[in-house]
Structure 1
């Protein structure tokens, strides 16, 4: 006969209910007691039966993961390390809480929506983590209508209230990045962003445009490009910019993978960066310091976005009365070699009037 919770309780000199709480990592149990019980479990070779736990309390100990529509193509998922880094943060926390992850497998928006419906109505997961936020999203509307625990990585749409989300302050960051480019002397600045429906794209574009407007500058419509988060998307967008009669002196790019595509084309066309065109981007992905030249980019703490989102979701699952919260993850600008200082101000003076941490590498 296998080792039981009662066996663990007897040897550890605690109650069976305490052992159960240790297995579920309950905050009601102190760390000293947890260590003692876990040591006994290890000594006796006990492994929790999570299937039995599901039958007893109805919990699946699983969380659903939903990717953005454009990232549901597996090639794009693996091309953009942002989502891999987010998943590292998610996985780190859920592992500590003994939860497993269930990722949607559909290829279209309709298939993903049906997959989420099946997860919720079939009680396959206890909560859902959306690694994006976009306008007019039927999945968000469905989860709200069914009062099912979920958390967004990103700012919620304007018509969705009182939900938990984890995000950077993308509007403010975009303002500061634009101010940085202006302070370097640039006035002709183009924008390359993701899908128009994505809230992160809207917030970064708004911060960019509002800052230029306050500086008395307008942006030609041809200077604003929207595409998918891929190298090909960056390639195509910068190709279109290079066909214009008046070229920008700087390009504000909202994703490092896009920026890689931009840098590739500029290199092929023998357009020097940053001497002829400055490029600044977002995410500080692992390759950003190895592009040619090394990429100036905003470090948005991707791992922390995932970790905090998973933490919030588990809290909601384990306490359905928990108050909705907003977690804002800090960021910083990592200055490398793709920005050209063409103004007459020193870097120290530029940094002094930005509400933003700047790290020069």
Structure 2
């Protein structure tokens, strides 16, 4: 049962109107009383309902958008502005606003989501990621608020509404393309393996190698999250192997840009010495030198479909869980070449 303002008042030994004034930071209330009430609010897990003006309709006309980590880091990646563009398009058409998480770490993001839900600040939530054993997703699964996920859930996917790409097949297609060009020593720079998209792309990479009878070499696999601060050293170690890779598949275009920069420092040319394939197909990718071969995962459509499904759930709470697979396309450009 949700904690009410009366519960806070009773515990703090004040009137409900005093609690309301503390929430409003009324100057008439002493700092001692404010602190006592705030301590009780924290102890009881009470989150003020900032959308009380909408109690009559019981709607806020606001969608919560949850990023995996801090907004600062998220917006450094072109994926997030583009997926938000898709979400915003549906929100605008349905007269909804957006409420973005701004937590600096996983714990802060979780606390913000709890505050959103218990404070009734939003009508529904979109998770922009799917992570293994994620506290925020587990909390939402046990709450009554409608939510959708960009990414396949780790467990019991049929019990959730989500939008995703076929990441296993996308990775297989990228690796098969390199194999068709004559490459056999193919490295894979993946994302953090607690994210389902990273697990699926690694699986596709391994399956493509197996299809071609090429053994999986652990030395050709780099977990980019673990080596983010050592990417230059990781690239150097790859290229200093007795049999260095002739091609690399990277988790996304940002990682590819970084790898190319390190290769330039090593006087290794793309694609003449090394071919590169990536994911996401950011707009800048076609303007690189050489232009980057990348899997276009239709980022805008991921956001658009996630919000469309969410608003359907808000309008009809009894609607069945749905799963939408957004198509992807391998865009072949100049970062890959046929081996002699």
**TM-score strictly above 0.5:** yes
Does residue 59 (structure 1) correspond to residue 56 (structure 2)? The answer is no
Does residue 120 (structure 1) correspond to residue 117 (structure 2)? The answer is yes
Of 253-262 and 234-243, deviating more is 234-243
Which of 198, 205, 219 is the equivalent residue of 2:202? Answer: 205
Q: Helix, strand or coil: the match of 2:90?
A: helix
Which of 261, 264, 278 is the equivalent residue of 2:275? Answer: 278
Query: Normalising to structure 1: TM-score of the pair?
Result: 0.76
The number of residues matched between the two structures is 290
Counterpart in the other structure of 1:156:
153
* Contact 1:193 1:226 (C-alpha < 8 Å) held by counterparts: yes
Q: Find the aligned partners of 2:267 and 2:102 in 1 and give their Cα distance.
A: 42
Q: Find the aligned partners of 1:315 and 1:236 in 2 and give their Cα distance.
A: 48
Aligned positions of 1:235-314 closer than 5 A: 235=232, 237-314=234-311
| Contiguous gaps of at least 5 residues in structure 1 | 1-50, 344-361
Q: Find the aligned partners of 1:53 and 1:239 in 2 and give their Cα distance.
A: 59
Counterpart in the other structure of 1:80:
77
Counterpart in the other structure of 1:354:
none
Counterpart in the other structure of 1:174:
171
Of 258-267 and 228-237, deviating more is 228-237
Q: Find the aligned partners of 1:153 and 1:230 in 2 and give their Cα distance.
A: 25
| C-alpha distance 126-73 of structure 1, shift in aligned 2 (>3 A) | closer
1:57 Cα deviation after fit: 1.4
In the TM superposition, structure 1's runs of 4+ consecutive aligned residues that sit over 6 Å from their partners are 229-233
Counterpart in the other structure of 1:89:
86
Does residue 140 (structure 1) correspond to residue 133 (structure 2)? The answer is no
| C-alpha distance 222-84 of structure 1, shift in aligned 2 (>3 A) | same
| Contiguous gaps of at least 5 residues in structure 2 | 1-50
* Contact 2:165 2:297 (C-alpha < 8 Å) held by counterparts: yes
Query: Normalising to structure 2: TM-score of the pair?
Result: 0.81
Counterpart in the other structure of 1:183:
180
1:146 Cα deviation after fit: 1.3
